[in-house]
A = this chain, B = another copy of it.
Amino acid sequence: MSDLEIARAAAVRPIEHISDAAGIPREALEFHGRYKAKIDPRLLPEDGRSPGKVVLVSAMSPTPAGEGKSTCTVGLADSLARAGQRVMIALREPSLGPVLGMKGGATGGGYSQVLPMDEINLHFTGDFHAITSANNALAALIDNHIHQGNELGIDPRRITFKRVLDVNDRALREVVIGLGGPTQGTPRRDGFDITVASEIMAVFCLAADPADLKERLADITFGYTYDRRPLTVRDLQVQGALALLLKDALKPNLVQTIAGTPALVHGGPFANIAHGCNSVIATRTARRLADIVVTEAGFGADLGAEKFMDIKARAADLAPDAVVIVATIRALKMHGGVAKADLAQPDLEALRDGTANLLRHVRNIEKFGIPPVVAVNRFGTDSQEELDWLLSWCAGEGIAAAVADVWGQGGGGPGGDELAAEVLAALERPVTFSHLYPLDLPVDEKIRTIVQEIYGADGVELSVPALRRLKEIEANGWSGLPVCMAKTQYSFSDDAGLLGAPKGFTVHVRDLIPKTGAGFIVALTGSVMTMPGLPKEPAALRMDVDADGNAVGLF
């Protein structure tokens, strides 16, 4: 059965059953249909209990097909609930662009999914549409300011804030706007990103509350004057209008897993030019309601977990209590040198070689002072011999680990019981969390720390434009911001083909992009695609509505 067929066959409960069980008072609920509700955090009781523990699900360096982080997040939470824990999930919302393009949904898989799968993957509760609207309202206000006389002296060549759409549309990557004469605006080069790449998405996901949202919106640098002075939304005085467009979206969305575990699905910034985690507000809300919160960060642990620790944990003022690193036999064999086409064949030698990648991720998590647990996400092609070997290797290295069959069994079955037990054991261990670097380190030193400590690089090399930008960042007083690395997720290095646990390499930083509203400096290594394209046979060709009004073709 496809994910959509499994999701449709599942018995979805009215959302008030889920919220009642989670202790959410009815007055804090805003229904969106029968199975989705927004929660107003201001209307939750202040009961003085300590916030729930945070389990971050991350992964080893993945294969292009992905290792099933979301599936493991859902399955682990379901299994923790099965073990009698009061648990809640915090996940990112899927982007519509990829849904119409290649990959179908992003709501877990198999029997470890959040429901209603089709609605979450399509418009959900409209949060991304609100972010798109706010982004494009700001863009229109910027061009209108220039058109109406340009009092602020905006240099049209140095506007860094781009328009966005939640669609994969390569033809919009590079455009010229404002054509048609003096009544149609000022011609300039521009481009569109996908909505998840908007700085407003990152701001939305890092804001602590509505007041902080407005401040962060005001702090967005949208461009520069002719004399290179940075210009912010505060200069345009439209942070209030943008906050108004986002005020309802800012309430986290409650849904449920197939097993009935409550999940807050809220926000979804890119994992490359942003930090790749659900909203701070959703994570905090979940911690107020549950004893354990299972959440996820995009990409492998070198990117996702590091940014979680150094960006999100700072904004949310939290310390994770355990980190799950999802590994698969397939990915380990790929890092051990097996070609993609042969990953289904048993190969103990390659498996052994591939553990170098996993091991580096595990040791990295330990550097943050947090106990790691390896979740071996079971695939149908795994041999029992491979799984047994991997578990005994983990034991030999002193790494807590368990095989999880959550795709095939979900929280209704015992497939995640051993993983849940390992995670519960890890939560008993002491945590001495520390960030990787202090904020007062210079920006280039922060980058050097990340690439040496986490990636295992010899060092970092900044391009000439990046060095120029570094000086501007220092001159503008932005040196105290954390760094958001934009790097391939397939390798510890900036070369996607360098698998395993490479050594003796240098990371090349092509450019630095200050995101003063989100509150980080993006360090670009290699080229980063911020507007995907559609494939030759887009998923849209298979999508439809049947005669009963049901979604068809969403995988």
Chain B contacts for A247, CB-based, 8 A: 545, 549, 551
Contact between B541 and A237, CB atoms less than 8 A apart: yes
Q: Quick check: is A208 within 8 A (CB to CB) of the other chain?
A: no
Nearest CB of B to A150, in Å: 12
Is the Cβ of A184 less than 8 Å from the Cβ of B177? Answer: no
Give Cα A172 to B186, complex, Å: 10
Chain B, Cβ-Cβ closest to A170: B185
Known contacts A244-B552, A534-B144, A541-B238; A174 and B184 CB within 8 A of each other: yes
How far is B543's CA from A540's CA once the two chains are assembled, in angstroms?
38
- Knowing A126-B129, A136-B167, A545-B210, the reply to whether A176 touches B173 (Cβ < 8 A) is no
Is A494 located at the chain interface by the 8 A CB criterion? no
What B residues does A186 contact at CB under 8 A? 171
Determine the chain B residues whose CB is within 8 A of the CB of A552 once the complex forms.
240, 244
Chain A, 125-149, contact with B by CB distance < 8 Å: what is the 0/1 string? 1100110110011011101100111
Point out the residues of chain B lying under 8 angstroms from A347, CB to CB: none
Q: How far is the CB of A333 from the nearest CB of chain B, in Å?
A: 31
Structural contact, A165 and B136, CB atoms closer than 8 A: yes
Q: Which of A530-553 contact B (CB under 8 A)?
A: 533-534, 536, 538, 540-541, 543-545, 547, 549, 551-553
Name the CB-closest residue of B to A148.
B536
| Closest residue on chain B to residue A135 by CB atoms | B167
Which residues, 225 to 259 on A, are CB-close (under 8 Å) to B? 237-238, 240-241, 243-245, 247-249
A21 at interface, CB cutoff 8 A: no
Residues of chain B lying within 8 A (CB to CB) of residue A139: 169
Q: Whose C-beta in chain B lies nearest to the C-beta of A180?
A: B174
B30 and A30: CB pair below 8 A? no
CB neighbours (8 Å) of A126 from chain B are: 123, 125-126, 129
Q: Does A183 contact B (CB under 8 A)?
A: yes
Most buried by B among A149, A214, A544: A544
Q: Are B175 and A177 in contact (CB under 8 A)?
A: yes
Contact of A33 with B by CB under 8 A: yes
Residues of chain B contacted by A424 (CB below 8 angstroms): none
Q: B544 and A244: CB pair below 8 A?
A: yes
Q: Which residue of B lies closest to A179 (CB)?
A: B174
Chief secondary structure at chain A's binding surface: mixed
Residues of chain B contacted by A136 (CB below 8 angstroms): 165, 167, 169
Contact A144 B170 (CB under 8 A): yes
A98: shortest Cβ distance to chain B, in Å? 12
A395–B541 Cα distance when bound, in Å, is 61
* B244 A96 Cβ-Cβ under 8 A: no
Say yes or no for A32: interface residue by CB 8 A criterion.
yes
Closest chain-B Cβ to A317's Cβ sits at a distance in Å of: 22
CA distance in complex: A179, B31 (Å): 43
Is B185's CB under 8 angstroms from A177's CB?
no
Of B133, B175, B241, which contacts A123 at CB under 8 A?
B133
Q: Which residues of B contact A544 (CB under 8 A)?
A: 240-241, 243-244
Chain B nearest Cβ from A116, distance in angstroms: 11
- Would you call A147 and B171 a contact (CB within 8 A)? yes
A174 to B180, CA, bound (A): 6
Residues of A that sit less than 8 Å from B by CB: 30-34, 38, 42, 96, 100, 119, 122-123, 125-126, 129-130, 132-133, 136-137, 139-141, 143-144, 147-149, 163, 165-180, 183-186, 210-211, 214, 237-238, 240-241, 243-245, 247-249, 533-534, 536, 538, 540-541, 543-545, 547, 549, 551-553
Instruction: List 29 A-B residue pairs with CB atoms under 8 Å apart, sorted by A's residue number.
Output: A33-B38, A100-B137, A123-B130, A123-B249, A133-B166, A136-B165, A136-B167, A140-B534, A143-B170, A144-B171, A144-B533, A144-B534, A147-B170, A147-B171, A171-B184, A171-B186, A172-B177, A175-B175, A185-B533, A210-B545, A241-B540, A243-B544, A243-B545, A244-B544, A244-B545, A244-B551, A244-B553, A247-B549, A247-B551
Q: Known contacts A147-B171, A175-B176, A244-B545; can you find 8 more A-B pairs with CB under 8 A?
A: A100-B241, A137-B540, A143-B171, A144-B533, A237-B541, A241-B541, A244-B552, A247-B545
